[in-house]
Structure 1
Amino acid sequence: MFRVLEADPSLVIVDFEKSVELAMYAVFGPHVQIQYCFYHLTQSTWRKIQALGPANQYQTDNTFRIFCGQLDALAILPPNEVLEGMQHLKDTMPDDAIPLVEYFDQTYVSGQLKLKQPQQQQQQDRETVAPIRIRRIPPIFRIHNWNMHEVTLAGEARTNNINEGWNNKFSSLVGHQHLSIWKLIVCQRAECARVTGAFLQYDLGVRPKKR
């Protein structure tokens, strides 16, 4: 007999994908807490370093490497100190790190400043110069979603590596990529049977063996 599980999570750890965050809110409601994976934050920073060019400097210059690591370390600060920490990095950044710092600040911390288009002027005011208006666009990923201060103090998970482990295990079960829908159904049924058996063993007091 299969157990019916009603999913109503209070916390969901996801990769840095805005569409996934919006989907979680749509499915589970606005009460769910979205936490972005710290590992994927560091990977995103590393990919940006490679894209911008200073990857060789990162690998050979210890001072530059430590500075880049401090960007990711902003996640460990209390949320109300992240802006101050970001400003400190701006004040001390080497010239080669300017594009990286600007990217990190715009994407995760301060957002961007954009010119606001002036409204259409009336006929009699066309000779009057319209004032320049600038508005701040919030960062794509908000600080409280990727901040790890409380999570670290509580000793809780900062990554979704356990899910990545299941993905790898299921990939091994499937055996190859681009499988047919029928093969996928067979593999999903096998995985459901395995999980159901694990639930039954747990109910009977049988704990899985440690590796």
Structure 2
Amino acid sequence: MTDFEQAAIKASKAEFPNVKNKACFFHLSQNKCLPWALDFIPSENIPAAFDELKATFPPEAEEVVQWFEDNYVHGRIRRRNQRNGNIIRTDPLFPPKLWSVSELMDHGIPRTQNIVEAWHRRWSTLVGKPHVGVYTMIEELQKEQQRVDLEIECINRGEPKPKQKKQIIDREKRIMTVYKDISNRSVLEFLRGLAHNISM
């Protein structure tokens, strides 16, 4: 799972060609102005869903909608065929297959990499400054290893994981209820149902 950074995406493809890369839902939601709920639609259905959603936006949103379409859904228009009117497009910079969380939802995989970012924050706090010496780094890595060992022991003893806030648990249940009901809703009803449950 990566942020929406081309260098990270290309590097992961080069180093791990047989692994599916997914982009972090949290970073996409920070990166776009359209309803986040598009992310929950299977990637192959996103272009049609986007086109349906696009028709509901006011003219004032055209510039943002076009930007999103060019970069995340259809790609930029290269040319139009004069004879039949067909549009030739480039691939989008961030194709739906990269940012759709539908597959993650189906397999119960987290939609974000917030746990990794929390560790980075904790590490920054432990070390306390951007540039540290080798000995300080080793000391802090040893402390972190002790903490991880303790966490593993707690899991081995069968201790429950720290509880999530009730508000988050309830929201995730509502999201899953709407997600599982995709076949019984129109595209816009599905997107609206999810958008009500996704907080900025």
Q: What TM-score, normalized to structure 2?
A: 0.66
Whether 1:38 aligns to 2:2 is: no
> Cα 1:204–1:152, aligned 2, differ >3 Å: closer, same or farther?
closer
Counterpart residue number, 1:142 = 95
Counterpart residue number, 1:210 = 162
AA partner of residue 147 (structure 1): S
SS of equivalent residue, structure 1 residue 80: helix
RMSD: 2.7
Question: How many pairs align?
Answer: 156
Pairwise CA distance, 1:141: 1.2
Aligned-partner Cα distance in 2 for 1:95–1:89: 13
Flag structure 1 segments of 5+ consecutive residues without an equivalent: 1-12, 47-67, 116-133
> Cα 1:140–1:181, aligned 2, differ >3 Å: closer, same or farther?
farther
Whether 1:102 aligns to 2:66 is: yes
Picking from 11, 15, 18, the partner of 2:6 is 18
Flag structure 2 segments of 5+ consecutive residues without an equivalent: 80-86, 164-200
For 1:1-211, list aligned pairs within 5 A: 13-27=1-15, 29-46=16-33, 68-69=34-35, 72-114=36-78, 135-175=88-128, 177-182=129-134, 183-199=136-152, 201=153, 205=157, 207=159, 210=162
Pairwise CA distance, 1:204: 6.0
SS of equivalent residue, structure 1 residue 169: helix
Aligned-partner Cα distance in 1 for 2:156–2:44: 47
Preserved contact between residue 41 and residue 100 of structure 2 (Cα < 8 Å): yes
> Cα 1:204–1:143, aligned 2, differ >3 Å: closer, same or farther?
closer
Aligned-partner Cα distance in 2 for 1:93–1:203: 49
> Cα 1:39–1:203, aligned 2, differ >3 Å: closer, same or farther?
closer
Listed one character per residue, the Cα deviations across residues 37-67 of structure 1 (whole Å, up to 9, x for unaligned) are 1111111115xxxxxxxxxxxxxxxxxxxxx
SS of equivalent residue, structure 2 residue 66: helix
Pairwise CA distance, 1:203: 8.7
Q: Please state which structure has a larger fraction of its residues in strand.
A: 1
AA partner of residue 161 (structure 1): N
> Cα 1:204–1:78, aligned 2, differ >3 Å: closer, same or farther?
closer
Pairwise CA distance, 1:20: 1.1
> Matched residues, percent identical?
31
Please list every run of at least 4 consecutive aligned residues from structure 1 whose deviation after the TM superposition is greater than 4 angstroms. Answer: 196-199, 206-209
Pairwise CA distance, 1:184: 3.4
Aligned-partner Cα distance in 2 for 1:33–1:202: 31
Aligned-partner Cα distance in 2 for 1:155–1:38: 14
Aligned-partner Cα distance in 2 for 1:32–1:160: 17
Preserved contact between residue 44 and residue 96 of structure 2 (Cα < 8 Å): no
Aligned-partner Cα distance in 1 for 2:67–2:2: 21
Counterpart residue number, 1:127 = none
Pairwise CA distance, 1:101: 0.7
Q: What TM-score, normalized to structure 1?
A: 0.63
